Amino acid sequence: MGLALLLLIWLITLVSTYFFAAKTWYLPAGASAATGWIDHQFALTFVLMGIIFLAAQLGLGYIVWRYSEKPNSPPVPYTHGNTKLEILWTVLTAVLFIGLNLMGAPVWASQRWDPPEVGAVKVEVTGMQFAWYFRYPGPDGTYGATSPKLMDPSSGGEAAVGLNPSDPASKDDVVTGTMYLPVNREVDLSLRSVDVIHSFFVPSLRFKQDAVPGLDIHMHLKPTVIGDYEIACAELCGLGHYKMHGMVHVVSQEDFDKWLAAREAEKQ
């Protein structure tokens, strides 16, 4: 029985390691300026944790087999353990955990604390059960006022985000259920939620950030490859969570300008 359990543990360990090493279970091809940094940190974490995972599981399998009960097995002795080893692996775990966090901190901060480039495209992302809405401030570069009292998600568009039509700044705001971004332009994102916590996740753009009720969270990114990329909600947000997805269309600057001008013309 001990040998069968050893083989099962080792089989699961080696098969799962193969799939990760072969990148069968991996992120899609990156399409943003942050791809290089994030993928490097991701790969480094995988390698270090993979070595520890392999060593732990292979050792576990051996111990299960080596110390499995046999007809002639002596009584099991009590052991307190090895204090020095416990201190050693606790310290090594702390060093590894803190070290990886320090190495990844600049990448994390670059999307949050560093100011966006001058002339960045401003987009407000609003999450609600169970849809994403995107608002562009128009030529004036200023978002119009919104109010929870004006929100009507069933109507979609401007009513869904509660845009106040009496505010002059709202006259040129564009609200859409599909996100358009120009390629190779910094994007200044403002994330918010109107009900529960959602998570705006675009795997191809290496972007993931919670949208929290009551908070206006600013981040920025730069798409670098023209294409269509799926948006998912990565935070369980209710019974309709599974259908809370959308699309990001990364297009040329010319196509983006045409699309935005067409949306503004529809408001006239």
Condensed to tens digits (0 to 9), the pLDDT of residues 197-209 reads 999 999 999 999 9
Q: Does pLDDT of 185 surpass 80? A: yes
- Average of per-residue pLDDT across 34-47: 89
The DSSP code for 169 is G
133 & 226 share domain: yes
Question: Pick the residue with more confidence: 199 or 265?
Answer: 199
Distance CA 101, CA 258 (A): 42
Q: 139: domain range?
A: 121-266
Q: Does pLDDT of 31 surpass 90? A: yes
Question: Pick the residue with more confidence: 74 or 255?
Answer: 255
- Looking at the 3D structure of the chain, how many domains does it have? 2
Q: What percent of the chain is predicted at pLDDT more than 70?
A: 99
64 & 129 share domain: no
36 & 160 share domain: no
Structure tokens at 36: 């290089």
- Average of per-residue pLDDT across 37-63: 87
149 & 95 share domain: no
- Is position 174 within any domain? yes
Distance CA 103, CA 122 (A): 29
58 & 156 share domain: no
135 & 249 share domain: yes
Burial 240-260 (b: 16+ CB within 10 A, else e): ebeebebebbbbeeeebeebb
Distance CA 60, CA 5 (A): 10
Dihedral sign for Cα 43, 230, 223, 156, please.
negative
149 & 240 share domain: yes
- Is position 73 within any domain? no
List the CATH number of the domain containing 197.
2.60.40.420
Q: What does the pLDDT look like over 97-114, one tens digit per residue?
A: 999 889 888 888 888 888
Q: What is the largest CA-CA distance in the chain?
A: 90
**Edge-to-edge order in the sheet of strand 187-193:** 174-176, 131-136, 121-128, 187-193, 217-221
pLDDT of residue 155: 75
| Predicted TM-score of the model (pTM) | 0.82
pLDDT of residue 178: 93
- Is position 138 within any domain? yes
State yes or no: cis peptide before 42, omega within 30 of 0: no
127 & 257 share domain: yes
- Is position 201 within any domain? yes
91 & 144 share domain: no
- Is position 77 within any domain? no
